[in-house]
A = this chain, B = another copy of it.
Amino acid sequence: MSKAKRLLDILMFVTTKRKFTAQEVADEFHISIRTVHRYIIDLCDMGLPIYAEQGRNGGYTVLTSRLLPPILFTEEEAVSLFFAFQSLNFYHSLPFDTEITSVTHKLYSSLQNEAKIKVDKIRSFISFWNPKRTIDAPFLKDVLEHSIENRNIHIQYESKSGLKTKHIHPIGVYAHDGLWYLPAYDYDKEKILLYRVDRILSILSAEKSEGEYMNLEEWFDYHEIKKPIRLHVHLTKEGIRQCKSVPYFDGTVVTQEDETGYIDTIIDKGELGFIKPLFFRLGSHARILEPKELIDGLRKQAEEILTMY
């Protein structure tokens, strides 16, 4: 076996063990101790942070955590990585922040000048916009950790009705529109609710969870329609155009031959509050035929507005 290959094998061996003696390596690879000492000098030269403790019970200790075998990237692949990083730029709170910074440096410094220019251009010509929030989510990493470790937590939460203590089982976290959300099973309400990570004021305690809950992906797919209700709306041409831009209606907008259209679908009653402002904006571009509750809600809100002003 070539020396380079053997060195890498030893690199993997020692970064995995973290603490080891020269004798252990010699036994593992059937080489002499003298050679092991020499190899360790080579690894140090390669930049592996390693230190030795002398005397009985001494040995070597590797400072970095486990390393991957060296990977050869093409320039395009490196560029695509910077593109991926670009999508994280607008987030204020992020887990893995320090690691991403170190990867960025490692990659950027190994690029040739031409590729550096390309990366810089990507940075200035492409962006993933999210509202630049000033809201901090200090418990993001903790909450993520607890959900990965399948633990229940007690949290102090700033809800609509004031400060509350909640006993929840976190399902996962997701970012949307610059904010971090936490779907979690609420043991008091006995159902899954959606929390905002920035509104968590503290984590009081955590305990291992026994139950099995859905994961984040399942939660995204899962939309229980508890109170099905028919939504039936006629749309003008402009109404179609606007509704097609609303992800919620993606796929349900039907265009007819005369260029008008309609939406005719089943939704959950709880979602009416969410779509009401939408139809307010559409005004006469959308004529709601069903449900009556939506029409009444719109009327009520319209009357409230007219009473106010």
Q: Hey, which bits of chain A sit against chain B, CB under 8 A?
A: 3-4, 16, 47, 64-81, 83-85, 87-88, 95-96, 99-100, 102-103, 106-107, 110-112, 115, 121-122, 124-135, 144, 147-148, 160, 171-179, 181, 215-217, 220, 238, 241, 244-245, 247-248, 250-251, 276-278, 280-281, 283-284, 287-288, 295, 298-299, 301-306, 308-309
Assembly CA distance A144 to B127 (angstroms): 11
B-chain residues with CB within 8 Å of residue A16 when the two chains form the complex: 112
Question: Would A172 and B110 count as touching, CB distance under 8 A?
Answer: no
A100-B80, A148-B125, A283-B304 known; A70 and B70 CB under 8 Å?
yes
Assembly CA distance A102 to B66 (angstroms): 23
Assembly CA distance A151 to B299 (angstroms): 51
Assembly CA distance A178 to B288 (angstroms): 27
Assembly CA distance A305 to B295 (angstroms): 9
Question: Would B144 and A126 count as touching, CB distance under 8 A?
Answer: yes
Question: Would B280 and A127 count as touching, CB distance under 8 A?
Answer: no
Q: Contact check: which of B4, B216, B247, B298 meets A131 at CB < 8 Å?
A: B247
A78-B68, A131-B247, A134-B251 known; A124 and B306 CB under 8 Å?
no
B-chain residues with CB within 8 Å of residue A277 when the two chains form the complex: 277-278, 280-281
12 A-B contacts, Cβ less than 8 Å apart?
A47-B72, A67-B74, A68-B74, A68-B107, A71-B71, A77-B99, A77-B106, A83-B95, A125-B172, A127-B175, A298-B309, A306-B306
